Chain A
Amino acid sequence: MTGRFANLEFDDERHESAETQAEAPSSERDGWSLLEQARSAHIEAQHEAALRLYTRALQEDRRLIRAWVGQVQMLVNLGELHEARVWGDKALELFKNNGELLAAKAQACIRLNDRKTALASSDGAMQAPGSSPWRWEVRGEVLLARGDRQFDVCFQKALEEPDADWFDRVVVARIYRFYKRAPAAMRYLRAAVEMAPEQAYAWYELGACQRELGLVGAATTTLEHCLDLNSNCREAADALAALNRMSFMDWLRGVLRRWRSR
Protein backbone atom coordinates (compact mmCIF):
# COMPACT_ATOMS: atom_id res chain seq x y z
CA MET A 1 0.00 0.00 0.00
CA THR A 2 1.33 3.37 -0.95
CA GLY A 3 0.30 7.00 -0.86
CA ARG A 4 -2.58 8.14 1.28
CA PHE A 5 -4.12 4.66 1.52
CA ALA A 6 -1.25 3.55 3.67
CA ASN A 7 -2.52 5.90 6.33
CA LEU A 8 -5.81 4.08 6.66
CA GLU A 9 -4.09 1.28 8.52
CA PHE A 10 -3.56 1.65 12.23
CA ASP A 11 -0.13 0.43 13.16
CA ASP A 12 1.04 -0.27 16.64
CA GLU A 13 1.71 3.14 18.14
CA ARG A 14 4.96 2.09 19.78
CA HIS A 15 6.48 0.75 16.54
CA GLU A 16 5.28 3.77 14.66
CA SER A 17 6.65 6.14 17.25
CA ALA A 18 10.02 4.43 17.15
CA GLU A 19 10.15 4.98 13.41
CA THR A 20 9.07 8.58 13.56
CA GLN A 21 11.42 9.31 16.44
CA ALA A 22 14.44 8.35 14.36
CA GLU A 23 13.64 10.85 11.63
CA ALA A 24 12.20 13.65 13.77
CA PRO A 25 13.70 17.15 14.17
CA SER A 26 15.56 18.05 17.38
CA SER A 27 12.59 19.57 19.30
CA GLU A 28 10.59 16.41 18.66
CA ARG A 29 13.53 14.27 19.74
CA ASP A 30 13.63 16.35 22.95
CA GLY A 31 9.93 15.71 23.34
CA TRP A 32 10.43 11.98 22.96
CA SER A 33 13.34 11.89 25.39
CA LEU A 34 11.29 13.87 27.92
CA LEU A 35 8.46 11.43 27.34
CA GLU A 36 10.76 8.55 28.16
CA GLN A 37 11.95 10.33 31.31
CA ALA A 38 8.33 10.94 32.27
CA ARG A 39 7.53 7.28 31.72
CA SER A 40 10.45 6.34 34.00
CA ALA A 41 9.21 8.69 36.70
CA HIS A 42 5.71 7.28 36.23
CA ILE A 43 6.99 3.72 36.72
CA GLU A 44 8.78 4.80 39.88
CA ALA A 45 5.54 6.37 41.14
CA GLN A 46 7.04 9.86 41.20
CA HIS A 47 3.79 11.32 40.01
CA GLU A 48 4.59 14.98 40.56
CA ALA A 49 7.87 14.71 38.64
CA ALA A 50 6.22 12.63 35.94
CA LEU A 51 3.50 15.24 35.49
CA ARG A 52 6.11 17.99 35.08
CA LEU A 53 8.03 15.90 32.57
CA TYR A 54 4.91 15.07 30.56
CA THR A 55 4.11 18.81 30.49
CA ARG A 56 7.63 19.63 29.34
CA ALA A 57 7.40 16.94 26.66
CA LEU A 58 4.20 18.57 25.41
CA GLN A 59 5.83 21.98 25.42
CA GLU A 60 8.37 20.51 23.03
CA ASP A 61 5.84 18.65 20.94
CA ARG A 62 2.11 19.07 21.44
CA ARG A 63 1.36 16.10 19.22
CA LEU A 64 2.50 13.51 21.79
CA ILE A 65 -0.81 11.89 22.68
CA ARG A 66 0.92 9.65 25.23
CA ALA A 67 2.00 12.74 27.13
CA TRP A 68 -1.58 14.03 27.25
CA VAL A 69 -2.69 10.63 28.54
CA GLY A 70 0.16 10.65 31.03
CA GLN A 71 -0.87 14.05 32.37
CA VAL A 72 -4.40 12.83 33.03
CA GLN A 73 -3.07 9.64 34.64
CA MET A 74 -0.72 11.61 36.90
CA LEU A 75 -3.48 13.98 37.97
CA VAL A 76 -5.60 10.95 38.92
CA ASN A 77 -2.69 9.40 40.82
CA LEU A 78 -2.18 12.71 42.65
CA GLY A 79 -5.84 12.67 43.66
CA GLU A 80 -6.72 15.76 41.62
CA LEU A 81 -9.70 14.09 40.06
CA HIS A 82 -11.70 17.09 38.93
CA GLU A 83 -8.66 18.52 37.25
CA ALA A 84 -7.96 15.17 35.64
CA ARG A 85 -11.44 15.09 34.20
CA VAL A 86 -11.26 18.66 32.96
CA TRP A 87 -7.85 18.00 31.42
CA GLY A 88 -9.10 14.75 29.87
CA ASP A 89 -12.00 16.65 28.31
CA LYS A 90 -9.61 19.24 26.96
CA ALA A 91 -7.32 16.61 25.46
CA LEU A 92 -10.35 14.85 23.97
CA GLU A 93 -11.35 18.08 22.25
CA LEU A 94 -7.98 17.95 20.49
CA PHE A 95 -7.94 14.19 19.88
CA LYS A 96 -11.53 13.16 19.43
CA ASN A 97 -12.49 9.71 20.72
CA ASN A 98 -8.91 8.72 21.43
CA GLY A 99 -9.13 5.41 23.25
CA GLU A 100 -6.31 6.01 25.72
CA LEU A 101 -7.61 9.45 26.65
CA LEU A 102 -11.14 8.15 27.03
CA ALA A 103 -9.85 5.45 29.35
CA ALA A 104 -7.93 8.03 31.40
CA LYS A 105 -11.04 10.18 31.67
CA ALA A 106 -13.08 7.12 32.67
CA GLN A 107 -10.66 6.51 35.53
CA ALA A 108 -10.99 10.10 36.74
CA CYS A 109 -14.78 9.85 36.57
CA ILE A 110 -15.02 6.51 38.35
CA ARG A 111 -12.81 7.79 41.16
CA LEU A 112 -15.21 10.72 41.44
CA ASN A 113 -17.91 8.03 41.66
CA ASP A 114 -19.57 9.42 38.54
CA ARG A 115 -20.29 5.92 37.28
CA LYS A 116 -22.51 6.83 34.38
CA THR A 117 -19.91 9.03 32.69
CA ALA A 118 -17.13 6.61 33.58
CA LEU A 119 -18.95 3.72 31.92
CA ALA A 120 -19.74 5.82 28.85
CA SER A 121 -16.09 6.90 28.54
CA SER A 122 -14.88 3.36 29.05
CA ASP A 123 -17.33 2.12 26.40
CA GLY A 124 -15.93 4.75 24.07
CA ALA A 125 -12.38 3.68 24.87
CA MET A 126 -13.16 0.05 24.10
CA GLN A 127 -14.90 0.96 20.83
CA ALA A 128 -12.05 3.21 19.68
CA PRO A 129 -9.59 1.69 17.18
CA GLY A 130 -6.72 -0.25 18.67
CA SER A 131 -6.29 -1.94 22.00
CA SER A 132 -4.03 -1.59 25.01
CA PRO A 133 -3.58 -2.94 28.55
CA TRP A 134 -4.51 0.51 29.90
CA ARG A 135 -7.98 0.48 28.38
CA TRP A 136 -8.69 -2.98 29.81
CA GLU A 137 -7.32 -1.98 33.22
CA VAL A 138 -9.65 1.02 33.38
CA ARG A 139 -12.51 -1.13 32.11
CA GLY A 140 -11.81 -3.50 34.98
CA GLU A 141 -11.71 -0.62 37.45
CA VAL A 142 -15.04 0.74 36.21
CA LEU A 143 -16.66 -2.69 36.55
CA LEU A 144 -15.05 -3.22 39.95
CA ALA A 145 -16.42 0.08 41.21
CA ARG A 146 -19.86 -0.76 39.82
CA GLY A 147 -19.84 -4.15 41.55
CA ASP A 148 -19.84 -6.06 38.26
CA ARG A 149 -18.21 -9.47 38.62
CA GLN A 150 -16.59 -9.30 35.19
CA PHE A 151 -13.82 -7.00 36.38
CA ASP A 152 -11.29 -9.77 36.85
CA VAL A 153 -11.80 -10.90 33.26
CA CYS A 154 -10.90 -7.38 32.14
CA PHE A 155 -7.72 -7.41 34.20
CA GLN A 156 -6.80 -10.77 32.70
CA LYS A 157 -7.44 -9.35 29.23
CA ALA A 158 -5.20 -6.40 30.08
CA LEU A 159 -2.37 -8.72 30.99
CA GLU A 160 -2.90 -10.83 27.87
CA GLU A 161 -2.28 -7.80 25.65
CA PRO A 162 1.03 -8.00 23.77
CA ASP A 163 2.30 -4.77 25.34
CA ALA A 164 1.54 -5.81 28.91
CA ASP A 165 4.54 -5.86 31.22
CA TRP A 166 5.27 -6.00 34.96
CA PHE A 167 4.07 -2.41 35.44
CA ASP A 168 0.59 -3.28 34.19
CA ARG A 169 0.40 -5.88 36.96
CA VAL A 170 1.36 -3.18 39.44
CA VAL A 171 -1.33 -0.90 37.97
CA VAL A 172 -3.95 -3.62 38.42
CA ALA A 173 -2.72 -4.20 41.98
CA ARG A 174 -2.94 -0.47 42.71
CA ILE A 175 -6.53 -0.46 41.46
CA TYR A 176 -7.34 -3.35 43.78
CA ARG A 177 -5.67 -1.57 46.69
CA PHE A 178 -7.62 1.61 45.91
CA TYR A 179 -10.81 -0.39 46.33
CA LYS A 180 -9.58 -1.99 49.59
CA ARG A 181 -8.93 -5.40 48.09
CA ALA A 182 -5.35 -5.91 49.17
CA PRO A 183 -5.50 -9.74 49.08
CA ALA A 184 -6.39 -9.68 45.37
CA ALA A 185 -3.66 -7.09 44.76
CA MET A 186 -1.08 -9.46 46.30
CA ARG A 187 -1.57 -11.96 43.46
CA TYR A 188 -0.70 -9.38 40.81
CA LEU A 189 2.19 -7.91 42.78
CA ARG A 190 3.77 -11.33 43.22
CA ALA A 191 3.48 -11.81 39.45
CA ALA A 192 5.06 -8.38 38.92
CA VAL A 193 8.10 -9.09 41.11
CA GLU A 194 8.52 -12.48 39.42
CA MET A 195 8.52 -10.80 36.02
CA ALA A 196 10.80 -7.92 36.99
CA PRO A 197 12.70 -8.75 40.20
CA GLU A 198 15.05 -5.81 39.55
CA GLN A 199 12.25 -3.22 39.80
CA ALA A 200 12.34 -1.64 43.26
CA TYR A 201 8.92 -0.09 42.85
CA ALA A 202 7.23 -3.47 42.38
CA TRP A 203 8.84 -4.63 45.64
CA TYR A 204 7.71 -1.47 47.39
CA GLU A 205 4.11 -2.00 46.29
CA LEU A 206 4.28 -5.62 47.43
CA GLY A 207 5.67 -4.55 50.81
CA ALA A 208 3.00 -1.89 51.25
CA CYS A 209 0.32 -4.42 50.39
CA GLN A 210 1.72 -6.95 52.87
CA ARG A 211 1.76 -4.24 55.51
CA GLU A 212 -1.91 -3.53 54.86
CA LEU A 213 -2.66 -7.19 55.45
CA GLY A 214 -0.77 -7.25 58.73
CA LEU A 215 2.02 -9.48 57.38
CA VAL A 216 4.67 -7.63 59.36
CA GLY A 217 7.55 -10.04 58.86
CA ALA A 218 7.00 -10.47 55.12
CA ALA A 219 6.51 -6.71 54.65
CA THR A 220 9.76 -5.95 56.48
CA THR A 221 11.71 -8.39 54.30
CA THR A 222 10.14 -7.05 51.10
CA LEU A 223 10.71 -3.39 51.93
CA GLU A 224 14.31 -4.09 52.95
CA HIS A 225 14.82 -5.83 49.61
CA CYS A 226 13.33 -2.78 47.89
CA LEU A 227 15.82 -0.55 49.70
CA ASP A 228 18.65 -2.89 48.67
CA LEU A 229 17.63 -2.38 45.04
CA ASN A 230 17.09 1.36 45.38
CA SER A 231 18.43 2.97 48.53
CA ASN A 232 16.87 6.31 47.49
CA CYS A 233 13.32 4.96 47.62
CA ARG A 234 11.95 7.28 50.29
CA GLU A 235 8.49 5.69 50.23
CA ALA A 236 10.00 2.31 51.16
CA ALA A 237 12.03 3.84 53.98
CA ASP A 238 8.93 5.60 55.31
CA ALA A 239 6.87 2.42 55.04
CA LEU A 240 9.56 0.47 56.88
CA ALA A 241 9.61 3.09 59.65
CA ALA A 242 5.82 2.97 59.84
CA LEU A 243 5.98 -0.79 60.08
CA ASN A 244 8.00 -0.47 63.29
CA ARG A 245 5.31 1.80 64.71
CA MET A 246 2.49 -0.53 63.70
CA SER A 247 -0.09 -0.84 66.46
CA PHE A 248 -2.02 -3.92 67.54
CA MET A 249 -5.17 -2.48 65.96
CA ASP A 250 -3.38 -2.05 62.60
CA TRP A 251 -2.29 -5.66 62.77
CA LEU A 252 -5.81 -6.77 63.71
CA ARG A 253 -7.28 -4.79 60.82
CA GLY A 254 -4.87 -6.53 58.46
CA VAL A 255 -5.82 -9.96 59.81
CA LEU A 256 -9.51 -9.11 59.35
CA ARG A 257 -8.84 -8.05 55.75
CA ARG A 258 -7.15 -11.37 55.09
CA TRP A 259 -9.97 -13.26 56.77
CA ARG A 260 -12.64 -11.38 54.79
CA SER A 261 -10.91 -12.20 51.51
CA ARG A 262 -11.26 -15.95 52.08
Chain B
Amino acid sequence: MRCLNCGFENMPGLKSCARCASSLALGDVSVVPGRASALRLRTRFDRLRNRVAAVTSRVLHFRIPWWLPKTRGPRVWPALARTALPGLGHIHIGHRVAGWMFLSIWLTFLLLSLLTLPSWVTPWFLSGAVATHAAAVISVLAVELSFERIAMRILFGVLLFVALRQLVYAPIGGLAQLFWVPIIVPDNLVPGPVTQAGDGLVYEGRWLRPEQFERGDLVFYQIPATTGNQFYSLEGFGLDRIVGVPGDEVSVKGGDLLVNGKAPRPEEMPIGSTSSLPDLDFVVSKGQYVILPTRLSFQTHNVSIRDEMILRVSLPPSDFILGRVLFRLQPWSRFGRIE
Protein backbone atom coordinates (compact mmCIF):
# COMPACT_ATOMS: atom_id res chain seq x y z
CA MET B 1 0.00 0.00 0.00
CA ARG B 2 2.03 2.91 -1.27
CA CYS B 3 0.99 6.41 -0.20
CA LEU B 4 0.31 8.61 -3.19
CA ASN B 5 1.10 11.73 -1.26
CA CYS B 6 4.49 10.94 0.29
CA GLY B 7 5.40 7.67 -1.41
CA PHE B 8 5.73 5.75 1.86
CA GLU B 9 5.21 1.99 1.62
CA ASN B 10 2.56 1.18 4.24
CA MET B 11 1.55 -2.12 5.79
CA PRO B 12 -1.40 -3.75 3.98
CA GLY B 13 -4.75 -3.11 5.69
CA LEU B 14 -4.02 0.43 6.83
CA LYS B 15 -6.60 3.07 5.89
CA SER B 16 -4.28 6.04 6.20
CA CYS B 17 -0.60 6.57 5.65
CA ALA B 18 1.54 5.91 8.70
CA ARG B 19 3.85 8.77 7.79
CA CYS B 20 1.66 11.62 6.48
CA ALA B 21 -1.86 10.41 7.51
CA SER B 22 -3.20 10.75 3.98
CA SER B 23 -6.08 8.46 3.08
CA LEU B 24 -5.10 5.18 1.47
CA ALA B 25 -8.67 4.10 0.69
CA LEU B 26 -10.09 6.39 -1.97
CA GLY B 27 -12.71 4.05 -3.42
CA ASP B 28 -15.81 5.68 -1.94
CA VAL B 29 -14.70 9.30 -2.12
CA SER B 30 -16.92 11.64 -4.14
CA VAL B 31 -14.97 13.43 -6.84
CA VAL B 32 -17.65 15.84 -8.06
CA PRO B 33 -17.12 19.27 -6.51
CA GLY B 34 -20.04 21.38 -5.31
CA ARG B 35 -20.74 24.29 -7.62
CA ALA B 36 -21.51 27.83 -6.67
CA SER B 37 -24.57 28.90 -8.59
CA ALA B 38 -26.65 29.23 -5.43
CA LEU B 39 -23.77 30.57 -3.37
CA ARG B 40 -22.28 33.16 -5.71
CA LEU B 41 -23.87 35.98 -3.74
CA ARG B 42 -22.18 34.72 -0.60
CA THR B 43 -18.80 34.70 -2.32
CA ARG B 44 -19.27 38.28 -3.43
CA PHE B 45 -20.42 39.33 0.00
CA ASP B 46 -17.46 37.68 1.69
CA ARG B 47 -15.01 39.28 -0.71
CA LEU B 48 -16.57 42.69 -0.14
CA ARG B 49 -16.59 42.24 3.63
CA ASN B 50 -12.99 41.08 3.73
CA ARG B 51 -11.94 43.90 1.43
CA VAL B 52 -13.60 46.49 3.67
CA ALA B 53 -11.85 44.94 6.68
CA ALA B 54 -8.50 45.01 4.88
CA VAL B 55 -8.87 48.64 3.78
CA THR B 56 -10.03 49.70 7.23
CA SER B 57 -7.10 48.06 8.92
CA ARG B 58 -4.70 49.64 6.42
CA VAL B 59 -6.16 53.15 6.50
CA LEU B 60 -7.13 53.40 10.16
CA HIS B 61 -4.36 51.14 11.45
CA PHE B 62 -7.12 49.58 13.50
CA ARG B 63 -8.63 46.15 13.16
CA ILE B 64 -12.40 46.04 13.38
CA PRO B 65 -13.14 42.35 13.16
CA TRP B 66 -15.99 42.58 15.66
CA TRP B 67 -18.42 43.56 12.96
CA LEU B 68 -16.67 41.88 10.06
CA PRO B 69 -15.71 38.42 11.30
CA LYS B 70 -13.74 36.50 8.72
CA THR B 71 -15.02 33.25 7.38
CA ARG B 72 -12.76 30.38 8.31
CA GLY B 73 -15.02 27.51 7.48
CA PRO B 74 -18.16 26.69 5.61
CA ARG B 75 -20.16 25.75 8.71
CA VAL B 76 -20.29 29.12 10.45
CA TRP B 77 -22.75 30.95 8.25
CA PRO B 78 -25.51 28.31 8.10
CA ALA B 79 -25.25 27.98 11.88
CA LEU B 80 -25.35 31.75 12.25
CA ALA B 81 -28.43 31.98 10.03
CA ARG B 82 -30.19 29.35 12.16
CA THR B 83 -29.34 31.32 15.30
CA ALA B 84 -32.19 33.62 14.30
CA LEU B 85 -33.80 31.28 16.84
CA PRO B 86 -31.21 30.97 19.64
CA GLY B 87 -29.87 27.44 19.97
CA LEU B 88 -30.84 26.11 16.54
CA GLY B 89 -27.39 27.01 15.20
CA HIS B 90 -25.76 24.98 17.96
CA ILE B 91 -28.06 22.02 17.27
CA HIS B 92 -27.13 22.35 13.57
CA ILE B 93 -23.41 22.06 14.27
CA GLY B 94 -23.95 19.19 16.70
CA HIS B 95 -23.78 21.01 20.06
CA ARG B 96 -27.18 19.73 21.12
CA VAL B 97 -26.91 20.34 24.87
CA ALA B 98 -25.77 23.92 24.43
CA GLY B 99 -28.42 24.45 21.76
CA TRP B 100 -31.31 23.23 23.88
CA MET B 101 -29.95 25.19 26.84
CA PHE B 102 -29.88 28.45 24.87
CA LEU B 103 -33.33 27.78 23.40
CA SER B 104 -34.95 26.95 26.76
CA ILE B 105 -33.39 29.94 28.56
CA TRP B 106 -34.44 32.27 25.75
CA LEU B 107 -38.00 30.90 25.69
CA THR B 108 -38.22 31.19 29.49
CA PHE B 109 -37.20 34.84 29.41
CA LEU B 110 -39.58 35.52 26.55
CA LEU B 111 -42.47 33.80 28.35
CA LEU B 112 -41.75 35.69 31.56
CA SER B 113 -41.67 38.99 29.72
CA LEU B 114 -45.04 38.18 28.14
CA LEU B 115 -46.57 37.03 31.43
CA THR B 116 -45.46 40.14 33.30
CA LEU B 117 -46.62 42.47 30.53
CA PRO B 118 -47.00 45.42 31.04
CA SER B 119 -45.08 45.90 34.26
CA TRP B 120 -41.71 47.36 35.23
CA VAL B 121 -40.04 43.92 35.21
CA THR B 122 -41.02 43.22 31.58
CA PRO B 123 -38.07 45.17 30.06
CA TRP B 124 -35.67 43.28 32.33
CA PHE B 125 -36.96 39.89 31.23
CA LEU B 126 -36.88 41.05 27.61
CA SER B 127 -33.28 42.19 28.10
CA GLY B 128 -32.54 38.71 29.43
CA ALA B 129 -33.97 37.19 26.24
CA VAL B 130 -31.89 39.57 24.09
CA ALA B 131 -28.74 38.81 26.11
CA THR B 132 -29.35 35.07 25.70
CA HIS B 133 -29.76 35.59 21.97
CA ALA B 134 -26.53 37.61 21.79
CA ALA B 135 -24.71 34.95 23.81
CA ALA B 136 -25.92 32.28 21.38
CA VAL B 137 -24.59 34.28 18.42
CA ILE B 138 -21.25 34.87 20.16
CA SER B 139 -21.03 31.19 21.00
CA VAL B 140 -21.54 30.26 17.33
CA LEU B 141 -18.81 32.74 16.38
CA ALA B 142 -16.54 31.61 19.20
CA VAL B 143 -13.94 30.15 16.86
CA GLU B 144 -13.90 33.31 14.75
CA LEU B 145 -13.70 35.59 17.74
CA SER B 146 -11.05 33.55 19.49
CA PHE B 147 -8.50 35.21 17.21
CA GLU B 148 -9.41 38.64 18.55
CA ARG B 149 -8.36 40.47 21.66
CA ILE B 150 -10.56 40.20 24.76
CA ALA B 151 -11.49 43.90 24.63
CA MET B 152 -12.69 43.46 21.05
CA ARG B 153 -14.74 40.45 22.03
CA ILE B 154 -16.41 42.35 24.86
CA LEU B 155 -17.07 45.31 22.56
CA PHE B 156 -18.52 42.96 19.96
CA GLY B 157 -20.81 41.44 22.59
CA VAL B 158 -22.08 44.84 23.74
CA LEU B 159 -22.63 46.05 20.19
CA LEU B 160 -24.38 42.82 19.30
CA PHE B 161 -26.70 43.18 22.29
CA VAL B 162 -27.56 46.77 21.34
CA ALA B 163 -28.00 45.85 17.68
CA LEU B 164 -30.25 42.90 18.47
CA ARG B 165 -32.34 44.99 20.84
CA GLN B 166 -32.69 47.99 18.56
CA LEU B 167 -32.74 46.34 15.15
CA VAL B 168 -34.55 43.07 15.85
CA TYR B 169 -36.57 43.05 19.06
CA ALA B 170 -37.67 46.71 19.08
CA PRO B 171 -39.05 46.54 15.50
CA ILE B 172 -40.84 43.27 16.31
CA GLY B 173 -42.32 44.92 19.41
CA GLY B 174 -43.31 47.95 17.34
CA LEU B 175 -44.97 45.70 14.79
CA ALA B 176 -46.89 43.85 17.50
CA GLN B 177 -48.12 47.17 18.90
CA LEU B 178 -49.81 47.86 15.58
CA PHE B 179 -52.14 45.00 16.55
CA TRP B 180 -52.27 45.03 20.35
CA VAL B 181 -51.05 47.67 22.78
CA PRO B 182 -50.42 46.86 26.46
CA ILE B 183 -51.12 49.65 28.96
CA ILE B 184 -51.25 50.20 32.68
CA VAL B 185 -54.46 51.85 33.87
CA PRO B 186 -53.58 55.50 34.71
CA ASP B 187 -53.72 56.73 38.28
CA ASN B 188 -56.20 59.51 37.46
CA LEU B 189 -59.01 56.95 37.05
CA VAL B 190 -61.28 56.25 40.01
CA PRO B 191 -61.13 52.51 40.90
CA GLY B 192 -64.21 50.50 40.01
CA PRO B 193 -65.39 46.96 39.38
CA VAL B 194 -64.09 46.81 35.80
CA THR B 195 -60.64 48.37 36.15
CA GLN B 196 -58.43 49.57 38.93
CA ALA B 197 -55.35 51.77 38.86
CA GLY B 198 -52.31 49.66 38.02
CA ASP B 199 -54.24 47.01 36.06
CA GLY B 200 -52.54 45.83 32.93
CA LEU B 201 -54.82 45.98 29.89
CA VAL B 202 -54.52 45.37 26.17
CA TYR B 203 -56.31 47.51 23.62
CA GLU B 204 -56.52 47.27 19.84
CA GLY B 205 -53.61 48.75 17.92
CA ARG B 206 -53.83 50.96 14.87
CA TRP B 207 -54.27 48.10 12.42
CA LEU B 208 -57.13 46.43 14.36
CA ARG B 209 -58.91 49.61 15.44
CA PRO B 210 -62.34 49.81 13.76
CA GLU B 211 -63.29 52.80 11.62
CA GLN B 212 -66.50 53.28 13.60
CA PHE B 213 -67.31 52.40 17.18
CA GLU B 214 -70.59 51.22 18.63
CA ARG B 215 -72.48 52.06 21.78
CA GLY B 216 -71.21 50.00 24.69
CA ASP B 217 -67.63 49.67 23.39
CA LEU B 218 -65.12 50.02 26.23
CA VAL B 219 -62.42 52.27 24.77
CA PHE B 220 -59.12 53.77 25.76
CA TYR B 221 -59.03 57.36 24.64
CA GLN B 222 -56.84 60.42 24.73
CA ILE B 223 -57.98 63.57 26.49
CA PRO B 224 -56.51 66.67 24.87
CA ALA B 225 -55.17 69.54 26.95
CA THR B 226 -57.80 72.30 27.22
CA THR B 227 -57.99 75.76 28.68
CA GLY B 228 -61.28 77.25 29.85
CA ASN B 229 -62.62 80.00 32.07
CA GLN B 230 -60.37 79.95 35.19
CA PHE B 231 -59.05 76.42 34.57
CA TYR B 232 -56.87 74.32 32.41
CA SER B 233 -56.64 70.57 32.09
CA LEU B 234 -53.55 68.62 31.14
CA GLU B 235 -53.39 66.05 28.41
CA GLY B 236 -54.20 62.56 29.64
CA PHE B 237 -55.97 59.29 29.00
CA GLY B 238 -59.40 58.00 29.85
CA LEU B 239 -61.11 54.62 29.88
CA ASP B 240 -64.90 54.26 29.60
CA ARG B 241 -67.77 53.04 27.44
CA ILE B 242 -69.08 54.88 24.42
CA VAL B 243 -72.65 55.96 25.18
CA GLY B 244 -73.42 57.95 22.07
CA VAL B 245 -72.48 57.54 18.42
CA PRO B 246 -72.90 60.08 15.59
CA GLY B 247 -76.57 60.97 15.11
CA ASP B 248 -77.58 60.16 18.71
CA GLU B 249 -79.16 62.57 21.17
CA VAL B 250 -77.62 62.02 24.61
CA SER B 251 -78.81 63.71 27.75
CA VAL B 252 -78.17 63.44 31.47
CA LYS B 253 -80.93 64.75 33.72
CA GLY B 254 -80.69 64.41 37.47
CA GLY B 255 -78.05 61.72 37.09
CA ASP B 256 -80.18 59.63 34.70
CA LEU B 257 -78.72 58.88 31.29
CA LEU B 258 -81.01 58.91 28.25
CA VAL B 259 -79.90 58.04 24.71
CA ASN B 260 -82.40 59.02 22.01
CA GLY B 261 -84.96 59.49 24.79
CA LYS B 262 -84.51 55.96 26.22
CA ALA B 263 -82.44 54.53 29.04
CA PRO B 264 -79.58 52.50 27.55
CA ARG B 265 -79.18 48.77 28.12
CA PRO B 266 -76.90 47.77 31.04
CA GLU B 267 -74.04 46.74 28.72
CA GLU B 268 -74.16 50.21 27.12
CA MET B 269 -73.96 52.11 30.42
CA PRO B 270 -70.73 53.85 31.48
CA ILE B 271 -68.54 51.82 33.83
CA GLY B 272 -68.91 54.39 36.63
CA SER B 273 -71.91 56.05 38.23
CA THR B 274 -73.71 58.87 36.39
CA SER B 275 -75.29 60.23 39.52
CA SER B 276 -72.57 62.79 40.11
CA LEU B 277 -72.73 64.16 36.58
CA PRO B 278 -74.31 67.54 35.90
CA ASP B 279 -77.25 67.92 33.51
CA LEU B 280 -75.92 67.53 29.97
CA ASP B 281 -77.48 67.54 26.54
CA PHE B 282 -75.64 66.51 23.36
CA VAL B 283 -76.56 66.02 19.72
CA VAL B 284 -73.62 63.93 18.45
CA SER B 285 -72.31 65.14 15.12
CA LYS B 286 -70.23 63.18 12.63
CA GLY B 287 -66.71 62.28 13.82
CA GLN B 288 -67.59 62.56 17.49
CA TYR B 289 -68.59 60.14 20.22
CA VAL B 290 -70.01 60.63 23.69
CA ILE B 291 -67.94 59.12 26.47
CA LEU B 292 -69.07 60.31 29.88
CA PRO B 293 -66.13 60.76 32.28
CA THR B 294 -67.65 58.67 35.07
CA ARG B 295 -64.22 57.41 36.16
CA LEU B 296 -62.19 60.57 35.89
CA SER B 297 -61.29 62.46 39.05
CA PHE B 298 -61.30 66.26 38.86
CA GLN B 299 -59.04 68.33 41.07
CA THR B 300 -61.47 71.18 41.75
CA HIS B 301 -64.18 72.03 44.28
CA ASN B 302 -65.78 74.67 42.10
CA VAL B 303 -68.95 73.07 40.72
CA SER B 304 -69.30 75.32 37.67
CA ILE B 305 -65.68 74.73 36.62
CA ARG B 306 -66.09 70.99 37.16
CA ASP B 307 -69.25 70.94 35.04
CA GLU B 308 -67.51 72.81 32.24
CA MET B 309 -64.56 70.40 32.38
CA ILE B 310 -66.93 67.42 32.18
CA LEU B 311 -68.71 69.01 29.23
CA ARG B 312 -65.39 69.49 27.40
CA VAL B 313 -64.06 65.95 27.88
CA SER B 314 -67.36 64.18 27.13
CA LEU B 315 -67.22 64.62 23.38
CA PRO B 316 -63.84 63.33 22.18
CA PRO B 317 -63.29 63.37 18.41
CA SER B 318 -63.01 59.99 16.69
CA ASP B 319 -59.24 60.42 16.21
CA PHE B 320 -58.68 60.61 19.95
CA ILE B 321 -60.17 57.19 20.59
CA LEU B 322 -57.15 54.87 20.54
CA GLY B 323 -58.97 51.53 20.46
CA ARG B 324 -61.27 49.06 22.15
CA VAL B 325 -59.98 47.45 25.33
CA LEU B 326 -59.79 43.67 24.86
CA PHE B 327 -58.03 41.91 27.72
CA ARG B 328 -56.92 42.32 31.26
CA LEU B 329 -53.42 40.88 31.68
CA GLN B 330 -52.68 42.01 35.22
CA PRO B 331 -53.36 41.02 37.93
CA TRP B 332 -53.28 37.35 37.01
CA SER B 333 -56.19 36.69 39.41
CA ARG B 334 -58.47 38.73 37.13
CA PHE B 335 -56.87 37.74 33.82
CA GLY B 336 -59.34 37.52 30.96
CA ARG B 337 -61.56 39.27 28.46
CA ILE B 338 -63.20 42.50 29.58
CA GLU B 339 -66.93 42.49 28.99
Contact = CB atoms under 8 A, between A and B. Distances in A.
Interface stretch (B38-46, B121-129, B266-274): B38-46
A82 B27 contact: no
B34 A87 contact: yes
A81 B44 CA distance: 9
Looking at chain A, what size class is its interface with the partner chain? 35 or more
A9 B6 CA distance: 9
Q: Is the interface of A mostly helix, strand, loop or mixed?
A: helix
B34 A83 contact: yes
Given A62-B29, A114-B50, A114-B72, A96 B5 contact: yes
B51 interface: yes
Contacts of A129: 6
A8 B17 CA distance: 13
Contacts of A8: 7-8
Interface in B69-87: 70-72, 74
Given A80-B43, A81-B47, A95-B4, A116 B70 contact: yes
B8 A82 contact: no
Interface residues of B, number: 37
A79 B70 CA distance: 19
A10 interface: yes
B275 interface: no
B7 A7 contact: yes
Contacts of B72: 114, 117
Interface stretch (B18-26, B101-109, B150-158, B293-301): B18-26
A51 B34 CA distance: 12
Contacts, number: 96
B93 to A, nearest CB: 16
A168 B104 CA distance: 58
B261 interface: no
Contacts of B23: 93-95
A9 B8 CA distance: 9
B33 interface: yes
A10 B7 contact: yes
A58 interface: yes
A7 B2 contact: yes
Contacts of B7: 7-10
Interface string B247-278: 00000000000000000000000000000000
B33 A113 contact: no
B9 interface: yes
B71 to A, nearest CB: 7
Contact of A55 (B29, B31, B147): B31
A55 B5 contact: no
B26 A63 contact: yes
B32 interface: yes
13 contacts: A7-B8, A10-B6, A80-B40, A80-B43, A82-B42, A82-B43, A82-B74, A87-B34, A95-B23, A98-B5, A111-B47, A115-B54, A116-B70
Interface of A: 4, 7-10, 51, 55, 58-59, 62-63, 65, 71, 75, 78-83, 85-87, 93-98, 111-117, 129, 147
Given A55-B33, A96-B5, A116-B147, 7 more contacts: A55-B32, A62-B27, A81-B43, A82-B43, A83-B33, A97-B20, A114-B70
